Amino acid sequence: DGGITQSPKYLFRKEGQNVTLSCEQNLNHDAMYWYRQDPGQGLRLIYYSQIVNDFQKGDIAEGYSVSREKKESFPLTVTSAQKNPTAFYLCASKASGASDTQYFGPGTRLTVL
């Protein structure tokens, strides 16, 4: 059953702590993405990766970091430098070439207390 998994579904952390969100895909897609969703603000791109061991900053990368050591995995770390980390985080992937559709995971809701 192909798809994108994100874990955990809900995450609670104390202010000042770093936290890592998991994203795994078995679609054999080259490109992977992290978006942040806040109420009424749509999807904002945090980071994206076109291939393994390569990634680029999106529109709101400050306070976040990523790695892409494997094709299947693209974890996102929310650092203590992120001023307002409470949000819904979405991971997505896309095949290279002709397909332009992004496929999304179920999301992780992060709440910083």
Distance, in Å, from the CA atom of 24 to the CA atom of 39, rounded to the nearest integer, reads 25
Pick the binder of another protein from 66, 90, 110, 112 (CB under 8 A).
90
Q: How far is the CB of 4 from another protein (least distance, A)?
A: 8
Give the one residue of 2, 14, 15, 41 binding another protein; rule: CB under 8 A.
41
Phi-psi region of 97 (alpha: psi -120 to 50; beta: other; left: phi over 0): left
Residue 48 binds to another protein (criterion: CB under 8 A): yes
Q: Pick from 40, 83, 84, 113 the residue near another protein by CB under 8 A.
A: 40
Adjacent-strand bridge partners of 33: 48, 92
